[in-house]
């Protein structure tokens, strides 16, 4: 079947007058922002309100991947919904949620409380090495965190906990393999922490060394090494020895997703058992010991690294654990706090009449705070970055310690790789884990470029997982060695794998298999082309050397419409042959089956470190060609109807454009003689962004029998009114949808 030529994504800018659009876009932005209001940082509720049922919870989805280990107990999706405050979607990061969440703390009516038995719990999760304060990104930093802790400890009993993913994340923490971070956490004065999946990133032996370096317990109940628990499952914190009844039982639990969210070499012999059954088993043992000793523990705190992502199996979510514990008989009449992490969500909720759930987001943008006395929970929520800056003082001793760590790191990482980046390369979680992004493209291009000479065979394609890209490269600033390590912090090496076409097909099915994002009303969140966006997944592949067309409205197994693969000899793209042998360049994490890519198990060759290859490529690459953050040019989201229209077009009806060559304005003019946009559709996403999608007379004629969606657009308005600007931009979007980002025509000769 002949395929329609497509025009480069970048052409859209040639078709729209900057002068015309500037005023219209600016006016729209002013109107949108005029309706925004500053969110409140506190909601006051009576106990009855706190326990009211809510319709919002992130435990409802059951479309996520199958469990990686067998559960030893079966738990159905919760039948009763929790009371929730500050409930963004489960995939939001702390940076984005802090602005969007209407409340960051729930305060229960405390008129009967007294001060002499009040306990404050401060907690963190998913700090990922953010030890240094960073106002630009809302990072509180450990010097200010220490000031908060000291302030509360000066006023009364205060407990400090961490829910995992602390040692690894930024180059400043990674350069010492977490040891500097451990020193800082000792200085803050944590009482206990649990193990996150990224605690394994420096290897099991290094994790054991870190556990000995810290002067507080690291606990987890469900992680076993060769059949024996890696660490103690729990600890008892007693701030007033000799006084009975105020002890706190602290239990740790780690996500079984660790099996695919750290390098397989880091977890040899390690197994992750069912979170709920393991936590309940520890509770049973603690309660049995208490009865034998004549004690009665009234407070349980679970340090969980489970999260509430919709892509996480329901039975492994922190919200599911909280629901289960609210119905667990041995805990009736006791106070239970579930301090969670992993999903980077700002979220607080209550389950039943005794379980409080709290998660702070990520990157130390907030500090969790729960206050209780002998009667009840008095408040639960977070201390925001702005509140911390306003109300607390930096600990000068810890600040001096951090200054020394920074000086040591800067000396190692200040080497400039390129003097200036002309573009922003986005490593934002909602880009690299959801769809094609320019940072993913340049990293994949670096791998593919190395793959043409670094191995025995030239490489056809390159992929890297979005979860392995951790930072953005800023525009108009130098790019240093430290910046590159920040983008690629895991120390991965490069590998080339011999794969079949079937392996490649299965790989992309998995990459594009996430469920769809929905807003608060349950409607799909759309991309610039009006296609539903996937939920963030660390396993989403950024790639080079392939053109993958997919339709997110279709069932997972049917989303892929076609795949073309680069022939490294001819530089042409050919349709994937499932029986053919190909050579794939990737990182050693994916090559070893990480993120569940077990289909990539063929013969392989090893290469150098990813960061060195990336640095070499940046030093010689023309970064200006990566100006578009989401180009939709390689992993191409398109409706099956529009794709069908493309493939039906006869080659003679369209001018031939080489998709690998530059395109000039004359090419555009020639293309417009046969593709005249006459229909535009306005798409508004839940976050208020407005996009314009166009199609053509020809496409409408060929798709109206396939779908009614294309025929529901609005006729372009007359030139001069406000919506005509939308039509012009829609005209540009036509080239984005059917551009060089898309198919080039004709099958290459074999």
Digit-coded pLDDT (tens) for 431-488 = 999 999 999 999 999 999 999 999 989 999 999 999 999 999 999 999 999 999 999 9
**Whole-number mean pLDDT of the chain?**
78
Cut 0.85: pTM above it: no
Res 107: pLDDT: 57
Joined tokens for residue 677 = 């946009």
Instruction: Give the mean pLDDT of 336-356.
Output: 97
> In this structure, are residues 334 and 344 in contact, taking their beta carbons and an 8 Å threshold?
no
CA gap 661, 740 in Å, rounded = 9
Query: Which residues have C-beta within 8 Å of that of residue 326, sequence separation ≥ 6?
Result: 336, 351, 352, 353, 354, 355
Q: Is the pLDDT of residue 7 over 70?
A: no
Res 57: pLDDT: 36
> In this structure, are residues 142 and 131 in contact, taking their beta carbons and an 8 Å threshold?
yes
pLDDT band of residue 420 (cuts 50, 70, 90) is very high
Q: What percent of the chain has pLDDT over 90?
A: 63
CATH superfamily name and code, 416-638: 5'-Nucleotidase, C-terminal domain (3.90.780.10)
Q: Is the pLDDT of residue 200 over 60?
A: yes
Res 75: pLDDT: 32
Distance of CA 108 to the CA centre of its chain: 32
> In this structure, are residues 529 and 733 in contact, taking their beta carbons and an 8 Å threshold?
yes
> In this structure, are residues 273 and 229 in contact, taking their beta carbons and an 8 Å threshold?
no
CA gap 415, 418 in Å, rounded = 9
Full DSSP string of 592-633 = TTGGG-TT--S-EEEEEEHHHHHHHHHHH--GGGG--SS--S
pLDDT band of residue 15 (cuts 50, 70, 90) is very low
Res 547: pLDDT: 97
Full DSSP string of 280-310 = HHHHHHHHHHHHHHT----EEEEEEE----T
Residues 81-122 have pLDDT tens digits of 354 444 333 232 233 333 333 345 665 443 333 456 899 999
CA gap 533, 197 in Å, rounded = 26
Q: How many residues are there in the chain? A: 750
Res 203: pLDDT: 93
Full DSSP string of 195-259 = --GGGGTT-HHHHHHHHHHSSS-EE-SSEEETTEESS-SEEEE-SSTT-TT--EEEEEEE-TTHH
Q: Is the pLDDT of residue 25 over 80?
A: no
Spell 567-588 as b/e; 16+ CB within 10 A means b: bbeeebbbebeeeeebbbbbbb
Pairing type for strands 248-254 and 299-305 reads parallel
> In this structure, are residues 481 and 278 in contact, taking their beta carbons and an 8 Å threshold?
no
Strand, helix or coil for residue 165: coil
Q: Is the pLDDT of residue 61 over 50?
A: no
Residues 506-552 have pLDDT tens digits of 999 999 999 999 998 999 999 988 999 999 999 999 999 999 999 99
Res 31: pLDDT: 28
CA gap 196, 357 in Å, rounded = 18
Q: Which CATH number fits domain 86-408: 3.40.50.1010, 3.60.21.10, 2.120.10.60, 3.40.50.300?
A: 3.60.21.10
Instruction: Give the mean pLDDT of 165-173.
Output: 91
Q: Which residues pair with 675 in a beta bridge?
A: none
Instruction: Give the mean pLDDT of 223-230.
Output: 98
> In this structure, are residues 133 and 140 in contact, taking their beta carbons and an 8 Å threshold?
yes
* Least confident stretch, 67-71, 184-188, 290-294: 67-71
Res 707: pLDDT: 33
Q: DSSP code of 139?
A: B
Residue ranges per structural domain of the chain:
1-35+640-750, 86-408, 416-638
Instruction: Give the mean pLDDT of 127-136.
Output: 95
CA gap 722, 742 in Å, rounded = 30
């Amino acid at each position: 079947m002949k395929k329609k030529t497509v025009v480069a994504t970048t052409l859209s800018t040639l078709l729209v007058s900057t002068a015309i659009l500037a005023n219209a876009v600016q006016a729209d932005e002013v109107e949108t922002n005029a309706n925004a209001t500053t969110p409140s940082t506190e909601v006051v509720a009576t106990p009855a309100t706190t326990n009211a049922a809510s319709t919002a919870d992130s435990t409802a989805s059951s479309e996520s991947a199958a469990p990686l280990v067998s559960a030893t107990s079966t738990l159905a999706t919760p039948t009763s919904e929790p009371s929730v405050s500050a409930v963004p979607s489960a995939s939001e990061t702390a940076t984005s949620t802090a602005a969007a969440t209407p409340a960051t703390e729930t305060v229960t009516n405390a008129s009967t409380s007294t001060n002499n038995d009040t306990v404050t719990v401060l907690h963190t999760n998913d700090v990922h090495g953010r030890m240094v304060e960073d106002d630009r990104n809302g990072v509180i930093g450990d010097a200010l965190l220490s000031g908060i802790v000291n302030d509360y400890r000066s006023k009364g009993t205060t407990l400090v906990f961490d829910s995992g993913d602390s040692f690894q994340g930024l180059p400043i923490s990674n350069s010492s393999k977490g040891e500097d971070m451990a020193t800082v956490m000792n200085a803050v004065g944590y009482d206990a922490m649990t193990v996150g999946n990224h605690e394994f990133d420096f290897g099991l032996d290094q994790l054991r060394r870190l556990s000995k370096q810290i002067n507080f317990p690291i606990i987890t109940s469900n992680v076993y090494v060769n059949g024996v628990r890696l660490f103690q499952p729990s600890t008892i914190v007693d701030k007033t020895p000799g006084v009975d009844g105020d002890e706190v039982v602290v239990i740790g639990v780690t996500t079984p997703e660790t099996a695919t969210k750290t390098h397989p070499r880091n977890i040899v012999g390690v197994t992750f058992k069912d979170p709920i059954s393991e936590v309940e088993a520890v509770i049973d043992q603690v309660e049995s010991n208490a009865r034998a000793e004549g004690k009665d523990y009234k407070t349980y705190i679970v340090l969980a690294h489970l999260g509430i992502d919709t892509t996480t199996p329901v039975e492994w979510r922190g919200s599911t654990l909280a629901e289960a514990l609210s119905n667990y008989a041995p805990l009736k009449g006791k106070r239970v706090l579930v301090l969670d992490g992993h999903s980077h969500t700002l979220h607080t909720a209550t389950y039943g009449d005794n379980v409080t759930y709290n998660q702070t987001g990520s990157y130390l943008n907030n500090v969790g705070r729960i206050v209780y006395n002998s009667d009840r929970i008095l408040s639960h929520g977070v201390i925001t970055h702005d509140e911390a800056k306003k109300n607390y003082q930096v600990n000068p001793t810890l600040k001096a310690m951090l200054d020394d760590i920074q000086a040591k790191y800067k000396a190692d990482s200040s080497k400039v790789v390129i003097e200036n980046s002309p573009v922003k390369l986005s490593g934002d979680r909602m880009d690299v884990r959801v769809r094609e992004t320019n940072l993913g493209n340049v990293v994949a291009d670096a791998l593919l470029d190395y793959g043409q000479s670094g191995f025995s065979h030239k490489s056809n394609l390159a992929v890297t997982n979005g979860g392995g890209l951790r930072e953005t490269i800023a525009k108009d600033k130098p790019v240093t060695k430290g910046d590159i390590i920040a983008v690629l912090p895991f120390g991965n090496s490069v590998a080339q794998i011999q794969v079949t076409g079937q392996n490649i097909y299965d790989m992309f099915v998995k990459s594009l298999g996430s469920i769809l994002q929905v807003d608060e009303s349950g409607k799909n969140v759309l991309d610039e082309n009006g296609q539903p966006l996937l939920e963030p997944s660390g396993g989403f592949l950024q790639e080079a050397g392939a053109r993958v067309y997919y339709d997110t409205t279709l069932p997972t197994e049917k989303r892929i419409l076609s795949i073309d693969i680069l022939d490294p000899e001819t530089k042409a793209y050919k349709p994937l042959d499932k029986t053919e042998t190909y050579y794939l360049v990737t990182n050693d994490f994916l090559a070893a089956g990480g993120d569940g890519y077990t289909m990539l198990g063929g013969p392989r060759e090893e290469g150098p470190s990813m960061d060195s290859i990336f640095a070499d490529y940046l030093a010689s690459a023309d970064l200006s060609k990566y100006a578009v953050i989401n180009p939709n040019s390689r992993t191409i989201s398109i409706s099956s109807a529009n794709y069908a229209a493309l493939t039906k077009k006869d080659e003679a009806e369209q001018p031939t454009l080489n998709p690998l060559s530059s395109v000039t304005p004359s090419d555009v003019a020639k293309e417009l003689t046969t593709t005249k946009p006459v229909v535009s559709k306005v798409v508004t996403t839940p976050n208020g962004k407005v996009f314009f999608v166009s199609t053509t007379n020809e496409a409408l004629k060929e798709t109206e029998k396939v779908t009614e969606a294309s025929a529901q657009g609005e006729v372009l308005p007359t030139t001069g009114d406000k919506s005509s600007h939308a039509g012009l931009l829609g005209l540009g979007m036509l080239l984005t949808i059917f551009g060089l980002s898309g198919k080039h025509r004709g099958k290459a000769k074999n």
